[in-house]
Amino acid sequence: MTATHTTRITDFGRVYLLALFAILFGLMSLARADAWFDAGDSALRHDLQLLVDSGVIDVPVTAWPIPSADVAWAIENTSPTEKLSAGERAALQRMKGRLAAFTRKAVHATAHVSGAAKPIVLRTFENTPREEGEVGATLSGATEHFSGRAAVQWVVDPDDEKELRFDGSYGSVRLGNWLLSATALDRWWGPGWDNSLILSNSARPIPSISLDRESSQPFESKWLNWIGPWRLTTFMGRMEEEREDIDHPLMFGMRIVARPFANVRFGSVRPFNGLEVAIERTAQWCGEGLPCDLDAFWNMFTGNDNADENVDPEDEPGNQLGGWNIRWTSPIGSAPYAIYLQRTGESFSLEAPPRQRRSFDLFGVEIWGERESGSSWRVHAEFAGTTCSDLDQQLEPIFDCAYNNGIFNVEGYRYRGRPIGASMDGDGRSYTLGLQIVTAPAASGSVLVRFAELNRGGVVPDTRNTVATGPVDLWNLETSASVPTKFGDFKVGLGFDYATDQLTDRLERSVRGFAELRYQF
């Protein structure tokens, strides 16, 4: 499904102006650091996860973007580096280098250019080109209380007809230990590497006002200290001005994550030391023809929005998803591995969060290791499904359920023609196996093998599904490499698809690729 909107700057105007305003403050003194580590950099995520899993630092890492100040504080309080392994020292050095890159100059600027043949639709955490061609630049700066980034891109033949974009812009104000921000940043909620069921970088970022706890340090109270490092993030965003269901709706999101019970011991064992848990909510509400008052918000917030169940159909305020996820490092033994799970439910209700019969799941396992040279690697295996009740043996699968709603009944849980959750859209199954390698000098490479069952059932043709109008089986191989050079960071990728239409047995093979050069001034 392709959006048909004309190009306007007003969608991002307020975010962009606030970012520019914040940058003016950054020009007045030496910069601290960029306020955020953005979603989309798998090598950065690997380094951060490696440091957390090895106990070098202790911060939540299953929701992006992540406040850079939280990571900076944790790194400043690390143990002496001589106690670390070669891989841990290399990862720590790379993280320090990323933080230092923002503090050497009062203004930080980048420029990039990319080209792609058949840009990949099934996006993972890694940021790859969305369009066939893109040229862009950023300008960022920060003071003690203000930070901002102005980002602009011009793209070739965009699916949503928005050639001029300001994705990646933000302006943040520090209020104690909180960041009040206007952003157009990608968000990724959950422990998955290839999918997030509730909020991913599949769609372009939704312009939002957000409030985030900056430092995740635990409560000092002995009664609450058991919660461990924790972070709350919440946002309210504005979606497209023109949709086929509800024009210019609002998007609400809230997530609480913690790393609890780290000090609970059974003898000499601390089984919960690597546990990270989160609960999360998103909701589409307000918009043309829908109530936008405080009563409507309260009904949405408390889950009183399920037509014919806890609210009259004419009073249903919107569409929402809710769920929880966990990631647990080495729950048994001390080998370097982790298991993770994400469960998301349609039509969230506080009476039963999330609804069992409308839930869908993601789970995976990852292992990692290192070499004496300081390079490190990570392997993950992941399953994700977007068919409601698909894994419940006592119930039949409910097709055309995930990312669809009775009110938002055309575009549904999608933004500018792409799903806000998992990139395979509804009624899919995805099985992936991935390998990632990061070298001590900060070069990286990855290989991903995927088998996906797309749009497995329901109405055919399904005009709401953005990936396949009917059932398609897809084998997919993705490779990529990123190398820092004196001319900038050079990144290339190559992909192969082997797709079979299950209704016609039609076979389609395709080759994809991209190249990107990013230069930091």
The span from the CA of 235 to the CA of 246, in Å, is 20
CATH number at 130 reads: 2.40.160.130
Structural domain count, the chain:
1
Phi first, then psi, for residue 10 (nearest 5°) are: -60, -30
The answer to the question of residue 2 being in a domain is: no
Q: How many other C-beta atoms lie within 10 A of the C-beta of residue 429?
A: 18
pTM of the shown model: 0.91
Whether 169 and 19 have beta carbons less than 8 Å apart is answered as yes
DSSP, collapsed to helix, strand or coil, labels residue 421 as coil
The answer to the question of residue 143 being in a domain is: yes
DSSP, collapsed to helix, strand or coil, labels residue 144 as coil
The span from the CA of 253 to the CA of 270, in Å, is 33
pLDDT tens for the chain, 521 residues: list them: 444 343 444 555 555 555 555 554 444 444 456 789 999 999 999 999 999 999 999 999 999 999 999 999 999 887 666 688 999 999 999 999 888 866 655 678 899 999 999 999 999 999 999 999 999 999 988 888 889 999 999 999 998 999 999 999 999 999 999 999 999 999 999 999 999 999 999 999 999 999 999 999 999 998 999 999 999 999 999 999 889 999 999 999 999 999 998 877 776 677 788 999 999 999 999 988 888 888 888 888 887 766 556 566 666 778 889 999 999 999 998 899 999 999 999 865 545 444 446 899 999 999 999 998 999 999 999 999 999 999 887 788 999 999 998 889 899 999 999 999 999 999 999 999 999 999 988 899 999 999 999 999 999 999 999 999 999 999 999 999 999 988 889 999 999 999 999 999 999 999 999 999 999 88
Strands (E), 79-162: 108-117, 133-142, 146-155
Nearest alpha carbon to residue 362 among 195, 475, 189? 195
Please say whether the dihedral angle defined by the alpha carbons of residues 505, 506, 507 and 513, taken in this order, is positive or negative: negative
Residues forming a β-bridge with 425:
none
Whether 132 and 113 have beta carbons less than 8 Å apart is answered as no
Tell me, letter by letter, the H, E, C secondary structure of 168-207.
CCEEEEEECCEEEEEECCCCEECCCCCCCCCECCCCCCCC
- The CA distances from residue 471 to 63, 110, 207, 270, 451, in Å, are 31, 42, 33, 46, 13
The answer to the question of residue 248 being in a domain is: yes
- The CA distances from residue 244 to 56, 194, 249, 403, 411, in Å, are 50, 29, 12, 15, 7
- Helix ranges (H only) for 394-489 are none
Q: What is the DSSP letter of 311?
A: B
The answer to the question of residue 4 being in a domain is: no
The answer to the question of residue 164 being in a domain is: yes
* Residue 287, domain extent: 10-520
